[in-house]
Amino acid sequence: MATKPIHLTRAVALLLATAAAGPIAAERLLAQSPAPPPSPAPVAAQLPAGTVLRIDGSSSMLLTNKDQRDRFLKRFPSASVELGSSRTYEAIQALINGDLDIVAAGRPLTAAERSQGLVEVPIQREKIAIVIGSQNPFDGTLSFEQFAHMFRGEITNWDEVGGPAKPIRIVDRPDFSDTRLALSRYTVFADDSFRIGATADPVAEDDTEAVVEALGDDGIGYAVVSQVQGRRDVRILAMHKTLPNDPRYPYSQPRAYVYNAQTPTPAALAFIALLKQKPDPAASTASPTASPSTASPSTASSSTAAEISQATPTPAPASPDGNSAGLTPAADGAAKSPPARQFPWWLLGIPLLGGLLWWLLKEDPKTPIAAPVPPPAAADLPSRIILTPRHCRLAYAYWEVADQALSEARAWGGRDLVLRLFEVGDGQDMPEPTQNADPARPGEAERHLPDSLEQYAVSEEQCDLHLPIPLDDRDYQVELGYVTDDNRWLSLAKSAPVRVPPCPGPGEAAQNSSGAAIETVPVAQYDVSAVGFQPPPARSRPAYGVEEADGDREDLGNLSEVGDETADGPWPSLARSAPISMPAGAVSVAPQPAATAPSGTCAIETLAVHSRRNAVSLGGSQMQYLQDQVGANYSLDPGFYILRVKSGAFNYGDNTHPGEPWVLLWIYGGQVSNLKTGVWVNGTWSTLNGYADTLSLEVDEPAQLCAFFIDTFPENNANAVTLSVIRL
């Protein structure tokens, strides 16, 4: 046994270092209110003469409002628009009182506001930039923790973050600011830590111009990206070397247009309908109401329903149909050649951030982390649906669709969420959209449908459904999507084809209770240590890491279909199911008795877990909190130990459930070796699962054992596990 260095010191150093280098991704709030917009209505042909559309709300929506105003006026040239930018709360009160038509909200509606008949139509979130003045000599990058410390006045001088010796001023926004509210909800400001300190120098109005003017050469503030990007008098700071054009950049703000669905004005209905209307590339020339002479290319394409699907009001590359998807309002003259420091903002349109905020806000606080059913679909992951045959007469469909995708589909006119089950044969699945309308199926003109099609209405809260199988021994697929008012089909996700097994004939063994034939295979008959772990010749499947996803990129490609249009109408395919891993990597296993091994095959999926990309960072303060305040601790002196769960179980506070005997262990502070790995380490993680599970540990230097659980809502947990630490 080799002599070990002083690892306690190193551990402390690591923890301290962590305080300044937290996770890049961990702070991201996904969000988009999934509150269903009203049933889509066609845009009014015209509005009464003298119609005035009154819009007010968050100042963070200012540029977007101008953009939408231009679009509205282009469609209704006889109308006029009054734009204001006061405060969301006050605007909402005005909307309720009938003094406004539309509120531009920089935050989701509250339940109380919704209960008064207000309906929000979410549009894409916008990133929040951390900014300094152009004269500020600081040229480094900040971590989220550093910014949080600055905000609270705990870091007071730029030299503490690598800049010149100069006091820091926090140019904060007023507490009614939607941008401030969005920032406060991030984890780095959790636990009531979103508070300013003595270094704060707030502006009185929620006005980015005021913030920029106040920055000087020593201030730091924040604003939505569209209001600061490209300016010469302000610089956007990288956070963890990540700029807002990077999908990992976390800070963003929800946005929506709100109208009163109980007493909507014609102007409001026209505005909302136009907002949700897909851009028509020919509109600027074909519409009898359009005035080509007034249609700036940048505004014409920007003021489209793309506002719902595009990420940022900045210039964007040409869309497949050749039109810019940029949203820069021409009135501001922002549609200029980008400055040298400008980022590829169009990238912001790629990662469609999903609707977790809604999930976070409405989640029953007691819902344990153990049971996020359905698991929230990460916004930057594709939607997917999996079809699993339970037996010859029943299949089970399970899906995950990001709220963002649902919102967008609704914005495209999706009305009824439907699950389709159809038979496929000879490797053929549901045909892709074509321009050849099938006259026999009105409303399905975008593509031919298979002859055997079963449709089931599902709710947006639903994530699974058992489906009766019409005929056994055939291949089936399912597809989830919306049906629009005009019977178009907006696909959200489609499964891979799966084979439904044949029903047993007379005298054959019946299906087991679950119907899953594979479940009849006794696990004990397999040599676990041998199955499937022969070194394969090569990775049979893409690894599920950052680069996993050539498949994901295909999905992104499909996402880019939003905005494409066929002659028969739009086909905003938002997502396709990822291919599931099955027989491609299948290998044979040892022959099993026929009665218990009906398939005789297994499937191997290989996952690559990367030491950095797939590491969840626990900040230094959280680790310290875990070690000092949370865990049941025990000092391990040099020697040999065996640990096991002696009694008890953990059930997330659900006393209707027996719970599971397990515990999570963090062992740190000295050299230890888990016999299962045989490696001397300074820190290691392990679980004990079940009463027969043991951890055999050799301790070479004094170390600490920290035993704990993880839960999102531990307040009403009441039971305990007894962990036996046996020192030999």
Partner 1 sequence: MGQHSLKFLGCLVGPRAIALQSLVHSLSINPLSFALLFLSGGSGMDGCTVTDLTVHSKRNCLQFGPEQMEALQRTGVSVLLGVGTNIVKIRSGSFGYGTDTRHNEPVVLLWIYGGRVINQKTNVAVSATWVSLNGYDDALVMEVVEPATLCAFFFDTYLDNSDEELILSVVRI
**Cβ closest to partner 1, residue 50 vs residue 591:** 591
CB of 610 to partner 1, least distance (A): 5
Residue type, position 275, single letter: L
- What is the 8-class DSSP label of residue 380? T
584 binds partner 1 (CB under 8 A): no
User: What whole-number distance in Å separates Cα of residue 307 and Cα of residue 384?
Assistant: 25
Regarding 649 and contact with partner 1 (CB under 8 A), the answer is: yes
What residues from 463 to 522 belong to the interface with partner 1 (CB under 8 A)? 464, 514, 516, 518-519, 521
685 near partner 1, judged by CB under 8 A: yes
The set of residues, in sequence order, having a beta carbon less than 8 Å from that of 190 and lying 6+ positions away, is none
Which distant-in-sequence residues (6+ apart) come within 8 Å of 303 by Cβ?
A: 67, 68, 70, 71, 72, 74, 327
Strand partners, 120: 258
Q: Using alpha carbons only, what angle is made at residue 630 by residues 641 and 188, rounded to the nearest 5 degrees?
A: 130
Calculate the alpha carbon distances from 511 to 172, 520, 523, 595, 596 in Å.
Answer: 66, 9, 18, 11, 11
Task: Draw the binding track, 184-213, toward partner 1 (x: CB under 8 A; -: no contact).
Answer: --xx--x-----------------------
Residue 239 C-beta: closest distance to partner 1, Å:
14
Q: Which residues contact 478 (CB under 8 A, 6 or more apart)?
A: 385, 387, 395, 397, 419, 420, 421, 422, 467, 494, 495
Site for partner 1 in 360-419 (CB under 8 A): 360, 363, 368-376, 378, 380-381, 384, 386, 388, 390, 396, 398
Based on the shown chain and the rule CB under 8 A, indicate whether residue 183 belongs to the binding site for partner 1.
no
Q: How far is the CB of 351 from partner 1 (least distance, A)?
A: 11
Query: Which is closer to partner 1, CB of 212 or CB of 695?
Result: 695
Residue (198 or 524) nearer to partner 1, CB: 524
Q: Which of residues 587-646 bind partner 1 (CB under 8 A)?
A: 589, 602-620, 623, 626, 630-632, 634, 639-640, 642, 644, 646
| 581 touches 605 (CB < 8 A) | yes
Answer yes or no whether residue 549 interacts with partner 1 by CB under 8 A: no
- Tell me whether residue 41 or residue 381 sits nearer to partner 1 (CB atom): 381
Of 266 and 532, CB closest to partner 1: 532
Question: What is the C-alpha separation between 456 and 271, in angstroms, rounded?
Answer: 33
Neighbours of 25 (CB within 10 A): 15
Report if residue 676 touches partner 1, rule: CB under 8 A: yes
Q: Which residues contact 576 (CB under 8 A, 6 or more apart)?
A: 382, 383, 491, 493, 494, 554, 555, 558
Among the listed residues 494, 489, 492, the one whose alpha carbon sits nearest the alpha carbon of residue 570: 489
Nearer to partner 1, 457 or 720 (CB): 720
Least CB distance to partner 1 at residue 662 (A): 6
Q: Using CA atoms, how far apart are residues 120 and 257, in angstroms rounded to an integer?
A: 5
Closest approach of Cβ 193 to partner 1, in Å? 13
Query: Of these, 474, 650, 669, 670, which contacts partner 1 (CB under 8 A)?
Result: 650
Among 201, 454, 554, 693, binds partner 1 (CB under 8 A): 693
Closest to partner 1 by CB, 316 or 377: 377
User: Which residue, 503 or 626, is less far from partner 1 as judged by CB?
Assistant: 626
Q: In this complex, which beta carbon is closest to partner 1, that of residue 7 or of residue 276?
A: 7
Residue 90 CA, chain-centre distance (Å), reads 30
Q: Which residues contact 9 (CB under 8 A, 6 or more apart)?
A: none
Closer of 66 and 384 to partner 1 (Cβ): 384
Count CB-CB contacts under 10 A for residue 676. 11
The only residue of 124, 253, 491, 684 in contact with partner 1, by rule CB under 8 A = 684
Phi, psi of 309 (to 5 degrees): -110, -15
Q: How far is CA 440 from CA 14, 215, 451, 569, in A?
A: 68, 65, 12, 18
Edge-to-edge order in the sheet of strand 384-391: 384-391, 394-400, 464-468
Does 557 bind partner 1 (CB under 8 A)? Our answer is no
Q: Which is nearer to partner 1, 286 or 726 (CB)?
A: 726
Token representation of residue 341: 């420091």
Site for partner 1 in 226-245 (CB under 8 A): none
Q: Please count the residues of this chain forming the interface with partner 1, following the rule CB under 8 A.
A: 152
DSSP 627: I
**147-182 as b/e: b if 16+ CB within 10 A:** bbbbbbeebbebeebebeeeebbbbbbeeebbbbbb
- Report, in Å, the least distance between residue 554 CB and partner 1: 17
The SS3 of residue 569 is strand
Residue with Cβ nearer partner 1 (257 or 650): 650
In terms of phi and psi (left: phi > 0; alpha: psi -120 to 50; beta: otherwise), the region of 698 is beta
Q: Which of residues 61-100 bind partner 1 (CB under 8 A)?
A: none
User: Minimal distance in Å, beta carbon 449 to partner 1?
Assistant: 27
Instruction: Kindly tell me which of 41 and 664 has the beta carbon lying closer to partner 1.
Output: 664
- The footprint of partner 1 on residues 20-49 (CB under 8 A) is 21, 23-30
By C-beta, is 309 or 673 nearer to partner 1?
A: 673
CB of 425 to partner 1, least distance (A): 23
Residues 520-539 that bind partner 1 (CB under 8 A): 521, 523, 526, 528-529, 531-533, 535
Q: Which of 318, 457, 584, 720 binds partner 1 (CB under 8 A)?
A: 720
- Regarding 289 and contact with partner 1 (CB under 8 A), the answer is no
Site string for partner 1, 142-181 (x = CB under 8 A): ----------------------------------------
Smallest separation, CB 673 to partner 1 (Å):
8
Choice between 294 and 614, CB closer to partner 1: 614
Q: Is 542 in the site for partner 1 (CB under 8 A)?
A: no
Residues between 651 and 670 that touch partner 1 (CB under 8 A): 651-653, 657-664, 666
Q: Which of 556, 580, 598, 702 binds partner 1 (CB under 8 A)?
A: 580
- Classify residue 365 as exposed, middle or buried by CB count within 10 Å of its CB (0-12, 13-18, 19+): exposed
